[in-house]
Structure 1
Amino acid sequence: MHIIKLNAIDSTNRYLKDLAVKQTLENFTVVTADNQTNGRGQRGSNWEVEDGKNLTFSVLIKDVLLSFDEVFHLNVVVAVSLFQAFSTLKIPNLAIKWANDILADKKKVCGILIENQLKSSAEIVSIVGIGINVNQESFSNLPQASSLKNSVGQEFNKEEVLVTVLHQFQKNINLYKNEGASYFWQVYHENLFKKNKPMVFEDNLNVKFMGIIKQVLPNGLLQIQLEDDSLQLFNIKEVKMLY
């Protein structure tokens, strides 16, 4: 594992992607920055962090996915890896929120953005971007955000958090390559936020409706049981949870 540490960068994903074009990088190359000025999350949202308080890093993954049918498997492996790493760090009341946010006490402490590229050799190269709120205490205008420090009431050593996460991630990537995705899907669904519980959703037309999360399909679509007991599938841009 090769770790590149930067003081500040617009996006660790972009930096790592550009670097991979210029030179051959070893699998599991990591770029981490103390301050990321233009990080992105799901739905195109920005991931902004307080300087020096949190972790933003990206990991190069290759020789893992064999086809684009397996792309969401990687999302599941990453989410489970972070869930397990945070469990090791004794973070209470953890859950995985579809598609791959990590919650503590129902508040987001970690976000994931994975970008996949198909090379001319048919190889799939993935850039896994991860943002973890570690020691930041206040989140203006973000009522559903929190941090590891807020969850347990004590400050964390960011280097220890990074090492714990990367160790769990690398271990799980090896397990996925050897054993497949079934174990990770089991853990993912066992800890999926609000699974089998009635809650309010809002679709992309701002229409609110009641539903129950039943499962996430291998292609990443969310299956929701509606009030008439019918099942409907949604992608990440079509629905959001209101909680």
Structure 2
Amino acid sequence: MNVQSSENQVEALSPKTLFTGQQVIWLAECASTNTEAQQLLLKSRATEGCTVITDKQTAGRGQRGNSWEAAPGENLTLSVVWRPTFLAASRQFQLSMAVALAVLDWVSTVLGPDPALRLKWPNDVYYHDQKLGGILIENTLSSVGIQSSIVGIGININQLEFGVPTATSLARLTGRHYALPALAERLLECLERRYLQLRSGQTEALRHAYLQVLYRFQEWHHFEVEGRRLTGQIVSVEETGRLVVEINGQLQSFGMQEIKFCQ
């Protein structure tokens, strides 16, 4: 394993993996782990599974162009570099499903099996109606498919105070304080397990598992579409990742910017 740090920190990570997390860059502070990982890729310094972890992320990015805020030293913020060249560009969402399931697998090892743990489309991790973590995957495409992927993950671990009521953390749910390196090791192992499942072609098993834990799947709830509040139920997710919702007896599909969940 190759551990590097700009602050000469000694962070002993030894995940039981083939490649994910075998090269680790642990930074005291950075703007975004995804940005740092992208720079490593551009300089050809990132091996398959290279992982960038930081104690303090000052400009983290989330889905829909949102920022990701995390208290310094209290949460897991990391990015993993993979090269899923076996995936066509049209199948990018399969990687998103695999990563989301891996994070949920990992949370389940901490909290135990709990039906309140769900994946909110496309890949946020929820406990009941509160967000525990999020994922941002940035793919570089070639003429034949995906050239590289940077998988950014932010999970609330020890933080207890949040600026929004819809956020939570492992510490808030359990009343415990967690050692971040041990959790990071376990997360990397879960990520590689699901990635290898995807690489071996078990896409239907991944899709089935994803729908089983999808937040509000086959339940009637309120959504916002084009400024209108509508009632619908999620019935499926297309291969491209579009959300299929039944509204007024008709099936409609939506991209990420086209529909919002209402409380």
TM-score by length of 2: 0.87
In structure 2, the partner of 1:115 is 138
In structure 1, the partner of 2:223 is 201
Deviation string 1:127-146 (CA, Å, 9 cap, x unpaired) is 00000000101111x11111
Contact 1:222-1:234 within 8 A present in 2 as well: yes
Contact 2:88-2:144 within 8 A present in 1 as well: no
Rounded Cα–Cα distance in structure 2 between residues aligned with 1:207 and 1:157:
44
Which letter maps to 2:25?
I
In structure 2, the partner of 1:152 is 174
Among 64, 72, 77, the alignment partner of 2:98 is 77
State the SS of the aligned residue for 1:43. helix
Which letter maps to 1:136?
Q
Among 231, 236, 259, the alignment partner of 1:215 is 236
Counterparts of 1:135-146 in structure 2, within 5 Å, are 135-140=158-163, 142-146=164-168
Cα distance change of structure 1 residues 216 and 123 upon mapping to structure 2, 3 Å threshold: closer
Cα distance change of structure 1 residues 63 and 96 upon mapping to structure 2, 3 Å threshold: closer
Which letter maps to 1:188?
Y
Rounded Cα–Cα distance in structure 1 between residues aligned with 2:146 and 2:252:
33
In structure 2, the partner of 1:174 is 196
Cα distance change of structure 1 residues 65 and 113 upon mapping to structure 2, 3 Å threshold: farther
Cα distance change of structure 1 residues 220 and 63 upon mapping to structure 2, 3 Å threshold: closer
1:189 and 2:211 matched: yes
Among 28, 47, 52, the alignment partner of 2:73 is 52
Rounded Cα–Cα distance in structure 2 between residues aligned with 1:185 and 1:152:
30
Cα distance change of structure 1 residues 217 and 123 upon mapping to structure 2, 3 Å threshold: closer
CA drift at 1:121: 8.2
Cα distance change of structure 1 residues 145 and 65 upon mapping to structure 2, 3 Å threshold: farther
Rounded Cα–Cα distance in structure 1 between residues aligned with 2:184 and 2:26:
12
Contact 2:60-2:69 within 8 A present in 1 as well: yes
CA drift at 1:49: 0.6
In structure 1, the partner of 2:56 is 35
In structure 2, the partner of 1:241 is 261
Cα distance change of structure 1 residues 94 and 187 upon mapping to structure 2, 3 Å threshold: same
State the SS of the aligned residue for 1:199. strand
In structure 2, the partner of 1:230 is 250
- Runs of at least 5 residues in structure 1 that lack an aligned partner in the other structure: none
State the SS of the aligned residue for 1:232. strand
- Runs of at least 5 residues in structure 2 that lack an aligned partner in the other structure: 1-21
State the SS of the aligned residue for 1:9. coil
State the SS of the aligned residue for 1:173. helix
CA drift at 1:84: 0.7
Contact 2:37-2:46 within 8 A present in 1 as well: no
Rounded Cα–Cα distance in structure 2 between residues aligned with 1:220 and 1:63:
17
1:62 and 2:74 matched: no
Instruction: Find runs of 4+ consecutive structure 1 residues off by over 4 angstroms.
Output: 119-123
Higher deviation after alignment, 113-122 or 22-31 = 113-122
Rounded Cα–Cα distance in structure 1 between residues aligned with 2:177 and 2:127:
16
Rounded Cα–Cα distance in structure 1 between residues aligned with 2:84 and 2:45:
14
CA drift at 1:88: 0.9
Rounded Cα–Cα distance in structure 2 between residues aligned with 1:208 and 1:63:
39
CA drift at 1:120: 7.3
State the SS of the aligned residue for 1:58. strand
Alpha-carbon RMSD across the aligned residues, in angstroms, is: 1.5
